[in-house]
Amino acid sequence: MKQSQYLMTEGNVRKKILSFAAPVFIGQLFQQLYNTADSLIVGKMIGTNALAAVTATGSIIYLIVGFFMGFSMGAGVVIARDIGAQETKAIARGVHTTVAMGLAASVIMTLLGVAMTPLILRWMGTPDDVLPEAAKYLRVYFAGSTGLVFYNLFVGILQASGDSRHPLYYLIFSSVLNVILDISFIGLLGMGVEGAALATIIGQFVSALLVMRRLLRTEEDIRLDLKKVRFDLVKLRQIIHIGLPTALQACVIDLANMLIQSYINSFGAVAMAGIGASTKLEGFIFLPVTAFSMALSTFVAQNYGAGRKDRMREGIRFGLITAVLVVEALGAALVIFSPQLVSLFDSNPEVIRYGAMRGQICGFFFCLCGFSHVSSAVMRGIGRPVIPTIVMLACWCAVRVLTLMTIGRIYHNILLALWIYPVTWMLSSIVYLFYLRHLRRTEVI
């Protein structure tokens, strides 16, 4: 066995971070293009109610994806720290424990998800005219969730070694496949929203199989041997220590967003479609933040394991500044071009009005959201995932929930559901700024 050729403890700091972040960005771009194509095809070929049904399930799907991405990041941090410390046996135990977790999680999620789909949608206040289509879409998605679970966990292992290029190749292939299947299932076979969900899960399975093939064939320390897949209690505790808070952080954010979605649902299918379309556009804007967050998490973890605090500080400073500047520039563009961009999804003037309203209110504050996400990634990398979980739980979940449960009942206005985002982004940014300064003063970073 040998160490990864993508090791991030040596070489130019900026080049290492950018060489990791660039493939992640491109891969996420392809995935977002597919997700957007999914909504475009549904909206244009089936109609506004079908678009509302698909976008209404978005917050639930983000919750699921966020949970398993959180655990994959936790596993990735554990493996990356062992790679930085050059602990070959520990790396192997971490890899095989991660896969064992995936087997257990995929069975549980499939069974519970399919059974609870109608109940979840009713909890969210999904309108009766949207509920049947939303239930069809979500049930098919849950039925194929094994591909989602393993794709995220396998990619987390690959990225822990510093390799973000191979996941890019696999994601591009599966995204193109998804679009082809979408057009075939919906446009040619007339399968409706079930066709859109089926195309998605087939793409996820293909991606997972491609990444697994890479792990089975690599000669690096992260090589997967299916005969060795089992739980190692020490590694399991380490992964849970970092992965569970990270997964819960993603969940509390998405749970709060589900509550906001249920508030938006009360304004009807037109508001759901417009704001859902704007949310799809925001997904593109936050791609650089996602890329830099993943890059910094791996970079910090490897260098923390290797004891290279000098490289950590340089990388953190570069990653934070670059991510914030890029996302703010993209946010300003959304403010200007929101109506034209939303109209790509639906030509209904009311849909466009709601979507543009969302983009124009939130766009200038994206720098705050970006700063919070990247700061959270830094804390995961040094093994302090509980802090960002507490911050997000307090600032993004508790504040949003309490606001909608109190002011929202008195002041039933869509503006409340839109302004609540920048306000809570600002709160978390203030807390992160003070905590990062504390870590610097105490020489943790």
Q: Per-block average pLDDT, block size 10, for the chain (445 residues)?
A: 67 90 85 70 70 70 74 84 86 91 85 81 74 81 84 87 86 84 81 80 89 90 89 89 80 74 82 83 86 90 86 92 93 91 84 89 92 91 86 86 85 87 93 91 78
Provide the pLDDT for residue 306: 83
CA distances from 277 to 103, 130, 360 (A): 34, 16, 13
Contact by Cβ (8 Å): 288, 329: no
- At 421, which helix (H) or strand (E)? helix 414-441
Tokens of 185: 């299932």
CA distances from 297 to 333, 338, 412, 413 (A): 28, 32, 40, 39
Provide the pLDDT for residue 259: 77
Tokens of 65: 């994806």
Residues in the chain: 445
Contact by Cβ (8 Å): 204, 148: yes
Which residues lie below 8 Å from residue 113, measured CB to CB, with a gap of 6+? 64, 138, 139, 141, 142, 143, 145
Distance in angstroms (rounded) separating the CA atoms of residues 218 and 160 = 14
Tokens of 252: 């509390």
Phi, psi of 110 (to 5 degrees): -60, -50
Q: What is the DSSP string of 261-308?
A: HHHHHTT-HHHHHHHHHHHHHHHHHTHHHHHHHHHHHHHHHHHHHHT-
Provide the pLDDT for residue 105: 84
Distance in angstroms (rounded) separating the CA atoms of residues 89 and 232 = 12
pTM: 0.74
Distance in angstroms (rounded) separating the CA atoms of residues 273 and 83 = 45
Q: Which of 202, 134, 142 is nearest to 174 (CA)?
A: 202
Tokens of 445: 């970073």
Provide the pLDDT for residue 148: 82
Distance in angstroms (rounded) separating the CA atoms of residues 159 and 164 = 5
